[in-house]
Structure 1
Amino acid sequence: MTIKRYRYIAFEGPMACGKRELAQHVAKSLNAELVQDLKENPFLESFYKNKGGAAFQAQLFFLLNRYQILQELKQPSLFHQTIISDFMLDKDRIYAYQNLSDSELMLYEKLFSLLRADVVEPDLVIYLQMSPDRLYDVMRKRHSGLFTVSDEYVENVVEGYNRFFFHFNKRPLIIVNANEVRFDRDRTALLDLLNFIDRDHRGVTYFTPQTN
């Protein structure tokens, strides 16, 4: 299958919503170049232990490395290839507002603004939307005994994503109801989404996948 309307498609959504797996399957289905977010950060362990300054260090590490990854999209060899990404640089700012102090945010905002101006914009954005309760349940099951994230933090992250995309108007946006679907396990839902993507989208459209 090919999608010619959009050269660069970005998937977004809070942690554990399934965007990474979905982006992998879409890239494989379209024979597209896959650009993925970081999974490792040397400062995360200290951040989870609430060590002083660790949140700022972790956030800057994510921001600078995400920026570096997205700079690769400017390579001439990718100009005529479909690109699928499982993140936007803007996600970094959503988490920064959950994790950083006011003084840290002042410095962060200056750096973010400089980097954000130099990032290639996607042609289409797909937001996997989940309710806080559903997302919290998915995260708890995935991490079992190691799960330490509070339900309040999950609610704040989801609220941050919803607020960001409520005001998002830079590119066409598809908001996917991801509460009851696992695209990596449901071929019908995946094909349904691919067919929906391959349309002329303007503004915001909403999509609820057909599932098995």
Structure 2
Amino acid sequence: MAEVPFIAIEGPIGIGKTSLAKKLSVHFDFHLLKEIVEENPFLGKFYDDIDEWSFQTEMFFLCNRFKQLEDIEKKYLNQNKAVIADYHISKNMIFAKRTLQPDKFEKYEQIYHILTKDMPVPNMMIYLHASLDTILKRIRLRGRDIEQNIKPSYLAQLAQDYEDYMNEFEVLHPEIPVIRINGDETDFVKQQDDLNMIIRQVENQLDNHKVTSKR
């Protein structure tokens, strides 16, 4: 039976997830789901003092992403309307494992599994990755004040966490195709050929998995 397309784009901070999601949503006429970031009232404090503000920051993200996915399921996926998101909710665990103290992480993990147990799961993943230099350059280019205090060491750790997670994801979920895009070699914002290459890869996966949608 054909599935309604639900594509999630993942990768480290500043890698271009939202930019790519916007372009693909326009091309395929899929609904765009954007994560809430700057609205998080704890995020600025978090980048200044991760240990002090990590639990509040991660709980805010988790609750908001849960609500977003709940709405997406009701209003789009259950209505056979395709969705492309600039995040996968499992990213919460990537960040939580990196930032939370063991006692806080144990509580957070319990809440995460309760909330996400029945959440819709993407049937395609696009993973953007790049070197630390490229990530830092893109963060500077987009110029969010809230991100200027992020330590390069934290970004480097996070990039490795994402690589480990995606390698594990492909083993655990062989039924979900993962398209890997090297951000050091690809500029889908400025280079139309690079964007077209990604579009072709998505089209091939949609065809291979017989994923259909009502436009």
TM above 0.5: yes
**Contact 1:12–1:87 at 8 Å: present in 2 too?**
yes
For 2:60 and 2:16, locate their aligned partners in 1 and report how far apart those are by CA, in whole Å: 23
For 2:4 and 2:70, locate their aligned partners in 1 and report how far apart those are by CA, in whole Å: 19
For 1:112 and 1:69, locate their aligned partners in 2 and report how far apart those are by CA, in whole Å: 15
Normalized against structure 1, the TM-score is what?
Answer: 0.85
Is the partner of 2:41 in helix, strand or coil? coil
Is the partner of 1:148 in helix, strand or coil? coil
Determine if the alignment matches structure 1 residue 80 to structure 2 residue 85. Answer: no
1:59 is matched with which residue?
A: 58
The unaligned stretches of length 5 or more in structure 1 are 203-212
For 1:136 and 1:49, locate their aligned partners in 2 and report how far apart those are by CA, in whole Å: 17
Range 93-102 or range 134-143, more displaced = 134-143
Q: Structure 1 residues 144, 73: CA separation in 2 closer, same or farther (over 3 Å shift)?
A: closer
User: Higher helix fraction: Structure 1 or Structure 2?
Assistant: 2
2:154 is matched with which residue?
A: 153
1:26 is matched with which residue?
A: 24
Q: Structure 1 residues 200, 27: CA separation in 2 closer, same or farther (over 3 Å shift)?
A: closer
Q: Structure 1 residues 15, 51: CA separation in 2 closer, same or farther (over 3 Å shift)?
A: closer
Matched AA of 1:98? R
1:81-160 equivalences in 2 (<5 Å): 81-143=81-143, 147-160=148-161
For 2:139 and 2:44, locate their aligned partners in 1 and report how far apart those are by CA, in whole Å: 18
Q: Structure 1 residues 18, 52: CA separation in 2 closer, same or farther (over 3 Å shift)?
A: closer
1:163 is matched with which residue?
A: 164
Matched AA of 1:115? L
Q: Structure 1 residues 77, 69: CA separation in 2 closer, same or farther (over 3 Å shift)?
A: closer
For 1:34 and 1:75, locate their aligned partners in 2 and report how far apart those are by CA, in whole Å: 15
Amino-acid identity (%): 27
Work out the number of aligned pairs and report it. 199
Q: Structure 1 residues 147, 85: CA separation in 2 closer, same or farther (over 3 Å shift)?
A: same
Range 183-192 or range 72-81, more displaced = 72-81
By relative contact order (CA 8 Å, sep 6+), the higher-ranking structure is 2
